[in-house]
Chain A
Amino acid sequence: MKYCYKVPCKKEMLKEIRCFVKEVLEKHGLSEVDVSTLVLAIDEVCANLIIHSHCCNPKESIEVEINVDKDKGLIFNIIDKAEIFNINEYQEPTLEDIIKKQRKGGIGLILVKKIMDDIQIYSDKKKHICRLVKKIPIN
């Protein structure tokens, strides 16, 4: 089953994205903690794209697509047209480094990598897709 949600690149839309993801995952019987953890990972990727790749430009948009597959698990595609950001090539800072340098950012993608089983980046001339896979039993 496939669910799609497209929003303008505004930080205020993050809450709407979270509601969309939560609603879909709850419909498929995931536990409360699993739902909240996955919602967090999607929120982190979308926040990163909206703020850093799209500079909060409401004329641009991102699309969240959720594919629910009983065999493969959950596949989240986050689709946009910005300059590609490859999360797999991003060397995240260590927590010690963040604390010492009093940085406020940098931990979102650490969370995403800890939560998801696989992260893939696809790109063609028209769009970029950040694919996040979570192998989890689904009703």
Chain B
Amino acid sequence: MVDIKRLQEEDHDVIVIIGEVDASSSIELDNAISEAVKSGKKKFLVDCTSLDYISSAGLGVFMSYIEEFKRNDINLVIFGLNDKVANVFEILGLDQLLKIEGTKEEAKALLG
């Protein structure tokens, strides 16, 4: 259902989400973000260009780490949401609570 990869690039890591994140697969996204946080690294991009679907279970994973990102000074920027997935973030107003950019270049610029 979902395939999650973590790649190292320059001074940051990229978490690539491929497929659908729902109540049956959100645990995999949770594990990937948890590992990223524990790695001690501070800069992450989340590549959603191949994310076809996300339900509240997936959104909840991102939300549950917002405080931890702040506490540990972690900069995580999401990019490449398609219109349907972006709409889900917007319905809840999560586009205001998470860092979301259109393209990888824009996301990298925000990462600093």
- Give A contacts to B, CB under 8 Å: 11-12, 14-15, 18, 32-33, 36-37, 40, 43-44, 47, 50-51, 95, 98-100, 102-108, 110-111, 114-115
Docked-complex contact A99 and B97, CB < 8 angstroms: yes
Q: Which residues of A contact B68 (CB under 8 A)?
A: 102
Contact residues of B: prevailing secondary structure? helix
Contact residues of A: prevailing secondary structure? helix
Docked-complex contact B59 and A107, CB < 8 angstroms: yes
Kindly state the interface size class of chain B when it binds its partner: 20 to 34
Docked-complex contact A14 and B87, CB < 8 angstroms: no
Docked-complex contact A32 and B84, CB < 8 angstroms: yes
Determine which residue in A12, A32, A107 has the highest number of CB atoms from chain B within 10 A of its CB, and name it.
Answer: A107
Number of A-B contacts (CB under 8 A): 87
- Give B contacts to A, CB under 8 Å: 1, 20, 22-24, 26, 30, 53, 55-57, 59-61, 63-68, 83-84, 87-88, 91-94, 97
How far, in angstroms, from A114 to B22 measured CA to CA in the complex?
Answer: 19
Name A109's closest neighbour in chain B (CB-CB): B56
A-B pairs with lowest CB-CB distance, top 6: A11-B24, A108-B56, A47-B23, A36-B84, A104-B60, A107-B56
Question: Smallest Cβ distance from A31 to chain B, in angstroms?
Answer: 10
Q: Which residues of A contact B59 (CB under 8 A)?
A: 107
Docked-complex contact A108 and B57, CB < 8 angstroms: yes
Question: Smallest Cβ distance from B27 to chain A, in angstroms?
Answer: 10
Name A18's closest neighbour in chain B (CB-CB): B53
Question: Smallest Cβ distance from A26 to chain B, in angstroms?
Answer: 13
How far, in angstroms, from A99 to B84 measured CA to CA in the complex?
Answer: 23
Q: Which residues of B contact A105 (CB under 8 A)?
A: 56-57, 60
